[in-house]
């Protein structure tokens, strides 16, 4: 799994699932959002036979462009028929996600363990 050169993500495997942990505490502004979506696009294209879990534990703020990047990630994963889930959303980020109805397009779990369990049951 190639993770070199990422500014906002760290990758690892957990039970056959690619876990992409967002390491940036905030994604705001056009430049950072472009970098973020570029990295997410790279990740979703790698090992596309494996489910993908986006772990947002360190993120405290997402701008509208940050949420847009997450929607683009989900859309691309669906186009590739790749299962995807999110986990560990900070309360403030989750409020924003609910405001833009993100829960209608992707399952959001409170913990990595819960999300991995859902992948295992699927």
SS (H, E, C) 22-83: ECCCEECCHHHHHHHHHHHHHHHHCCCCCCEEEECCCCCEECHHHHHHHHHHHHHHHHCCCC
Q: What are phi and psi of 96, to 5 degrees?
A: -65, -40
Report the share of the chain in percent with pLDDT over 90: 86
Distance CA 61, CA 42 (A): 22
What residues contact residue 14 under an 8 Å CB cut-off, 6+ apart?
Answer: 53, 112, 116
Distance CA 14, CA 25 (A): 23
Q: Domain 9-44+51-121 is classified in which CATH homologous superfamily?
A: STAS domain (3.30.750.24)
Which tens digit of pLDDT belongs to each residue from 35-88? Answer: 999 999 999 988 778 999 999 999 999 999 999 999 999 999 999 999 999 999
- Cβ atoms of 30 and 63 within 8 Å: the answer is no
Distance CA 118, CA 109 (A): 9
Q: For position 113, what pLDDT does the model report?
A: 97
Report the share of the chain in percent with pLDDT over 70: 97
Check whether 16 has a pLDDT greater than 80.
Answer: yes
Q: For position 63, what pLDDT does the model report?
A: 93
């Amino acid at each position: 799994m190639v993770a070199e050169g990422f500014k906002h993500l760290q990758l690892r495997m957990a039970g056959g699932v690619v876990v992409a942990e967002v390491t940036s505490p905030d994604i705001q502004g056009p430049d950072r959002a472009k970098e973020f979506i570029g990295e997410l696009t790279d990740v979703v294209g790698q090992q596309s036979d494996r489910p993908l879990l986006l772990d947002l534990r360190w993120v405290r703020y997402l701008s509208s462009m940050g949420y847009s990047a997450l929607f683009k990630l989900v859309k691309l994963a669906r186009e590739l028929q790749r299962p995807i889930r999110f986990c560990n959303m900070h309360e403030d980020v989750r409020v924003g996600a609910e405001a833009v109805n993100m829960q209608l397009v992707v399952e959001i779990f409170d913990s990595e363990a819960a999300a991995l369990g859902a992948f295992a049951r699927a």
